């Protein structure tokens, strides 16, 4: 739930930035936005998560290493090993356990935001192009600047066209939260396996048989209920936004 609460708006910010770059009049910015959308969407999520988290962590440590240990004599890359000075480690080995957990969760949130931000960018880019050109031309005819047209005409109207795609993306994000397990974060899937299994490494005081089937059955019901509630909320939001709009949803 924390991942969804943080990642959803963060991914929307990444998506809005990517869509804005993709429709920029400045050629390098336009290609930067399109490369971001195409490259991230073209890589399988699991491969991106497993690779990007390691690369992101090493990138942070490399920057800290350059700043804190400029006199380090040995190479950082030693074969397949990545070796930095002790002061550059993230988090520090002496840090409390909660710091390690927060840092792992932070890298997971950032990874989720970048991945789903690319999908959101594609949705928002299409929504921006779906706004009738007559609206843009009328605003320009009234003497509005380009920035005024963007924020007062284009952005308010694009959400009607973007909401169906964003709704689908929200559902996919809900189903993708178990990928936290692959990133080493102790999420609901992790605890379902730990609490339901017969291994007693952590919970030897409560012996029981293998109950994982019941725990994962609960997870099935939980995810179905959560997606159903989300579907009802998004449907009502869509009706509210399309009320009186010149779209198929508004006409219906």
For 44-113, the DSSP string reads -HHHHHHHHHHHHHHHHHHHHHHHH-TT--S-SEETTEE---GGG-SS-TTS-HHHHHHHHHHHHHHHHH
> Could you tell me the pLDDT band of residue 246, with boundaries at 50, 70 and 90?
low
Distance between CA atoms of 100 and 248, rounded to whole angstroms? 49
| Burial status of residue 122 (CB atoms within 10 A of its CB: 0-12, 13-18, 19 or more) | buried
Percentage of the chain beyond pLDDT 70 is: 91
Lowest mean pLDDT among 21-30, 35-44, 181-190, 199-208: 199-208
Sorting pLDDT into bands at 50, 70 and 90, what band is 120?
Answer: very high
Paired tokens of 1 = 């739930």
Query: Residues 95-105: what's their mean pLDDT?
Result: 81
**Topology of the domain comprising 2-184:** MetI-like fold (1.10.3720)
pTM, two decimals, is: 0.79
- Banded pLDDT at 16 (limits 50, 70, 90): very high
pLDDT the model gives residue 250 = 47
Domains of the chain, residue spans: 2-184, 186-252
């Amino acid at each position: 739930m924390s991942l969804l609460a943080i990642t959803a708006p963060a991914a929307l910010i990444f998506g809005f930035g990517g869509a804005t770059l993709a429709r920029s009049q400045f050629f390098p910015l336009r290609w930067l936005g399109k490369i971001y959308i195409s490259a991230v969407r073209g890589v399988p999520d699991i491969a991106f998560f497993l690779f990007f988290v390691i690369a992101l962590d090493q990138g942070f440590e490399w920057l800290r290493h350059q700043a804190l240990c400029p006199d380090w004599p040995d190479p950082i890359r030693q074969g397949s090993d990545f070796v930095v000075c002790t002061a550059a480690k993230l988090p520090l080995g002496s840090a409390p356990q909660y710091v390690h957990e927060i840092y792992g969760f932070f890298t997971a949130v950032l990874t989720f935001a970048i991945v789903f931000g690319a999908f959101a960018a594609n949705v928002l880019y299409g929504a921006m192009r779906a706004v009738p050109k007559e609206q843009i031309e009328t605003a320009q005819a009234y003497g509005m600047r380009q920035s005024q047209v963007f924020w007062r005409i284009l952005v308010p109207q694009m959400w009607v066209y973007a909401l169906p795609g964003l709704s689908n993306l929200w559902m996919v994000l809900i189903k993708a939260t178990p990928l936290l397990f692959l990133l080493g974060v102790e999420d609901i899937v992790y605890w379902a396996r730990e609490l339901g299994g017969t291994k007693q490494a952590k919970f030897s005081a409560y012996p029981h048989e293998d109950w994982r089937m019941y725990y994962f059955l609960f997870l099935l019901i939980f995810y179905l209920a959560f997606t159903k509630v989300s579907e009802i909320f998004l449907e009502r939001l869509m009706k509210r936004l399309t009320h009186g709009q010149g779209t198929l949803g508004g006409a219906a």
